[in-house]
């Protein structure tokens, strides 16, 4: 069973090496991808962060929020048998490349787990579980790269399933009596700073619901 929860103690600080940081509200410094974070243990023998207990106060809330979904420790322990770029610098480039692939694989595993909650037919559910088992099998750097290359096709499959389910739900909705009160939700664009989607509720204007109080004014 693949653990999709980050375990920094079993990882070779791959996010501290591989990720690009832009100075701003999330990170206090600019750091190019491939440059070790200056806050890493300076002896080069461990993967500890020297300001780990004070990251937000020191201007690094983005580090606190970041989650690799378990990709880091899988690369370190499974693909590279516990080795580290800190003690073997020649591993830095290949471990970064594997990190790029495994992050995408683990994001897909999260999507497949979420799809388990959908009202799928037996055949579709079995197909998704087969894909999940394929991505959870033991990997090497080479097989991880190949699996990452297949992800666009799997994303298309998930989009197709979601679209079919959405069409079925919309068709079923036409057979139901119209609700007396409808709630409108708007999905915002992806936030480049926070990196997530959020939903925003639209409060109906005063007078839109006859006989209902205007909640915005408290009356």
Average pLDDT for 173-197: 40
pLDDT single digits (tens) 54-113: 999 999 999 999 999 999 999 999 999 999 999 999 999 999 999 999 999 999 999 999
1 close to 132: Cβ distance less than 8 angstroms: no
Residue-level pLDDT at 175: 57
- Residue 5: pLDDT above 80? yes
- How many CB atoms lie under 10 A from the CB of residue 162? 12
DSSP state of 14: H
pLDDT single digits (tens) 130-141: 999 999 999 999
DSSP state of 146: H
How many contiguous H segments (helices) and E segments (strands) does the chain have? Answer: 7, 2
Partners of 186 in beta bridges: 200
Phi/psi for 211 (5° steps) reads 80, 5
Tokens 């939700």 appear where? 185
- Rounded-to-integer distance, Cα 47 and Cα 83, Å: 12
- How many CB atoms lie under 10 A from the CB of residue 179? 8
Residue-level pLDDT at 171: 66
**Two tokens at 116?**
């388990």
43 close to 49: Cβ distance less than 8 angstroms: no
Residue-level pLDDT at 216: 41
**Two tokens at 124?**
């579709």
pLDDT single digits (tens) 14-68: 999 999 999 999 999 999 999 999 999 987 778 999 999 999 999 999 999 999 9
96 close to 14: Cβ distance less than 8 angstroms: yes
């Amino acid at each position: 069973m693949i653990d999709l929860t980050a375990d920094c103690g079993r990882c070779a600080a791959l996010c501290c090496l591989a990720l690009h940081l832009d100075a701003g509200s999330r990170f206090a410094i600019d750091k190019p991808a491939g440059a070790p974070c200056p806050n890493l243990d300076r002896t080069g023998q461990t993967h500890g962060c020297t300001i780990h207990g004070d990251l937000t106060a020191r201007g690094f809330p983005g580090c606190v929020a970041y989650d690799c979904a378990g990709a880091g420790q899988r690369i370190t322990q499974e693909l590279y048998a516990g080795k580290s770029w800190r003690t073997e610098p020649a591993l830095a480039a290949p471990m970064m490349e594997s990190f790029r692939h495994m992050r995408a694989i683990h994001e897909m595993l999260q999507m497949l787990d979420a799809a388990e909650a959908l009202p799928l037919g037996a055949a579709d559910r079995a197909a998704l579980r087969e894909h999940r088992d394929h991505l959870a099998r033991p990997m090497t750097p080479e097989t991880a790269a190949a699996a990452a290359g297949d992800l666009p096709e799997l994303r298309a499959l998930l989009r197709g399933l979601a679209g079919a389910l959405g069409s079925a739900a919309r068709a079923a909705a036409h057979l139901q009596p119209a609700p007396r009160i409808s709630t409108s939700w708007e999905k915002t664009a992806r936030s480049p700073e926070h990196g997530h989607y959020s939903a925003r509720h639209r409060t109906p204007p005063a007078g839109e619901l006859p006989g209902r109080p205007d909640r915005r004014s408290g009356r």
